[in-house]
Amino acid sequence: MIWIGLTGGIATGKSSAKKIIEQNGFPVIDADLISHQISQIGKSGYKAMLEVYGPPVLLPDQNIDRKKLGEIIFKSEVEKLKLEAILHPLIQTEVSEQKAKYAADGVKICFYDVPLLFEKKLQTQFSSTILVWCDFQTQVTRLKARNSLTDQQAMDRIHSQMPMTEKLPLAQHCIDNSTTLTSLEIQIKHLLERLKANLDVD
């Protein structure tokens, strides 16, 4: 099975790209979705985070307060690495199980949607990688609108990741999502056709 990494920057449109890939019949394993699932009340990630951070990161209904947790980790590299150390092994276990199932089912191409692909130097795990990117100002504007953030909060989150200028040379396929959803869809469909042709997949 061909294993392709899908990544981007925060608010560059990776989630939209994922949806388009799935709509075209390709499975995408989503690291963020898995992270959310294991962070639900009573799940393994939830219990592990509660042991480390305690009640201050809980909402009144006892769910994890993701906004408060985000403020903690985006302002401290130590806290960010601490959270990653908690969740990463749990996420990887689930990813391995899903990947094995797709391979057993005869899937020829599978994508893995992972935000920190290049930050964590995971590119050697994949046959190839796709980077969804956009210009910096578009990224800031989208993130502010999506998460109701100030300029500074948006930039803190963007700067917590590797700069897009450093990611672009590392990816085999770069998708520019600085303009419209239609443009994104056209680019991805063309890429999927090339991947199918190059890999001789029906």
Using 50, 70 and 90 to split pLDDT, how confident is the model at 68?
confident
Identify the pLDDT of residue 200: 61
List of residues 6+ apart from 108 with CB closer than 8 A: 1, 2, 199, 201
DSSP 64: B
Percent of the chain with pLDDT over 70: 98
- Alpha helices, DSSP H only, in the chain? 14-23, 31-38, 44-53, 66-74, 77-104, 136-147, 151-159, 164-167, 181-198
State the residue range of the domain holding 175: 1-27+117-196
Q: Within this chain, do residues 132 and 192 fall inside the same structural domain, yes or no?
A: yes
- Looking at the structure of the chain, the number of domains it has is 2
Q: Evaluate if residue 160 carries a pLDDT over 90.
A: no
Taking CA atoms, 192 is separated from 21, 132, 160, 178, 187, in Å, by 8, 14, 30, 20, 9
- In a domain? residue 112: no
Q: Within this chain, do residues 122 and 190 fall inside the same structural domain, yes or no?
A: yes
Identify the pLDDT of residue 70: 82
Tokens of 58: 């809980």
Q: Evaluate if residue 99 carries a pLDDT over 60.
A: yes
State mean pLDDT over 87-107. Answer: 95
Q: How many CB atoms lie within 10 A of CB 4?
A: 22
State mean pLDDT over 54-72. Answer: 90
Using 50, 70 and 90 to split pLDDT, how confident is the model at 122?
very high
CA separation for the pair 11, 80 (Å, rounded): 19
Q: Evaluate if residue 57 carries a pLDDT over 50.
A: yes
Identify the pLDDT of residue 98: 97
State mean pLDDT over 8-25. Answer: 96
State mean pLDDT over 119-123. Answer: 92
State mean pLDDT over 106-133. Answer: 95
Judging by beta carbons within 10 Å of its beta carbon (0-12, 13-18, 19+), is residue 96 exposed, middle or buried? Answer: exposed
Mean pLDDT for the chain overall: 92
| Angle at alpha carbon of residue 187, lines to 184 and 190, rounded to 5° | 145
Q: Evaluate if residue 2 carries a pLDDT over 60.
A: yes
We report the CATH number of the domain holding residue 164 as: 3.40.50.300
Give the relative orientation of helices 44-53 and 31-38 as an angle to the nearest 10 degrees.
Answer: 70
Q: Evaluate if residue 163 carries a pLDDT over 60.
A: yes
Q: Evaluate if residue 201 carries a pLDDT over 60.
A: no
Percent of the chain with pLDDT over 90: 77
Q: Within this chain, do residues 51 and 5 fall inside the same structural domain, yes or no?
A: no
CA separation for the pair 27, 21 (Å, rounded): 8
| Residue that finishes a domain, picked among 46, 75, 106 | 106
State mean pLDDT over 113-122. Answer: 92
| Residue that finishes a domain, picked among 106, 126, 151 | 106
- In a domain? residue 81: yes
